Structure 1
Amino acid sequence: MRTTRLRTVHPVLWAGWAALAAGAVLCVLGWYGISGERYAERQLPYLASCTVPGAALIVAGAVLLAHGRNALAGARVEELYGLLVAAGPADADGAGQPAAAPVAVSGDLLMVPGGTLWHRADCPLVAGKPEALPVDSRVLAGGDLAPCPICEPTASDGRPSEAAG
């Protein structure tokens, strides 16, 4: 499934390569013409007619290649986005798919000192953090911490420790 924009990028890339090749040929011809002349006043026509336009074509070719590659990358991103959006609603209905497993199911509640959330012990945000402490019920009652939106704990999930400090 190729988009129209993706097809229109290739001529820009071909034009860039053609401009680079033509510029290189003109520079070589200018160099060859200049190398056969001894006096500077006889070298100027080669410089003006071959080398300067050749250098300009090389710069133009480089610009076209850069633009073509950016446009090609943009077209690919648009194509992938279109595929993602097209696949989204069909997958979002959930027909025939098992329900998503909860992120965390532990009954133990933890908090990180200085944090603003309380978590289940197996929540990915606190799992493996040695500084995580059991939640004190006084902190929960005071409303200083909010439940984690990832693991969605409730105060009745576990029995917070009274000895936490």
Structure 2
Amino acid sequence: MPTSRILLWSGLAAAAAGAVLCVLGWYGISGERFAERQLPYLASCTVPGAALIVAGAVLTGTAALLSVRTPQTEPTGPPGPEPESPPPSADGPPLRVPGGTLAHRPDCPLVEGKPEATEAGAAGLDPCPVCEPWPP
């Protein structure tokens, strides 16, 4: 069971228990006229209830910040070679599409097969984030 689920459910349980204690403390205090008779309800119900509500909020907030990971399954077959991406082609000048603001390699999937793509030239174009036509 992931840690974030444990934190979430324990936080919700603590907050619920704190709310019940606060309600019981309020109910007990409401029936007493004198302050000295109200103090035991404050000490035994309302203050611990408020502390449990705060602790529940902290636990629930922590659980929300942790990511829930799905269990990883083991591969069933023998591991095969990793598919390698072809190296970027530096053959030819960078290309651009009409009205575009990015320079692309000739084999970039964003310009590949587009007959309207022309040479980028020395224009002040930004490099394409997909094919990265210039070395960093």
| TM bracket (short chain) | 0.5 to 0.7
Q: For this pair of structures, how many residues does the alignment match?
A: 100
Whether 2:58 is the aligned partner of 1:63: answer yes
Whether 2:40 is the aligned partner of 1:40: answer no
State the alpha-carbon separation in 1 of the partners of residues 63 and 120 from structure 2.
Answer: 56
Matching residue's letter, 2:51:
A
**What is the TM-score with the length of structure 1 in the denominator?**
0.49
Match of residue 17 from structure 1: 12
**Alignment partner of 1:90 out of 76, 82, 94:** 82
Match of residue 29 from structure 1: 24
Deviations 1:55-113 (A, max 9, x none): 00000000111111222x2x44x989xxxxxxxx834x148xxx98336652351434x
**Alignment partner of 1:106 out of 97, 115, 118:** 118
State the alpha-carbon separation in 1 of the partners of residues 119 and 14 from structure 2.
Answer: 68
State the alpha-carbon separation in 2 of the partners of residues 25 and 106 from structure 1.
Answer: 72
**What is the TM-score with the length of structure 2 in the denominator?**
0.59
Match of residue 76 from structure 2: none
SS at match of 1:24: helix
Match of residue 99 from structure 2: none
RMSD, matched Cα: 3.4
State the alpha-carbon separation in 1 of the partners of residues 26 and 119 from structure 2.
Answer: 80
SS at match of 2:118: coil
Instruction: Tell which has more relative contact order, 1 or 2 (C-alpha 8 A, sep 6+).
Output: 2
Identity %: 52
SS at match of 1:109: coil
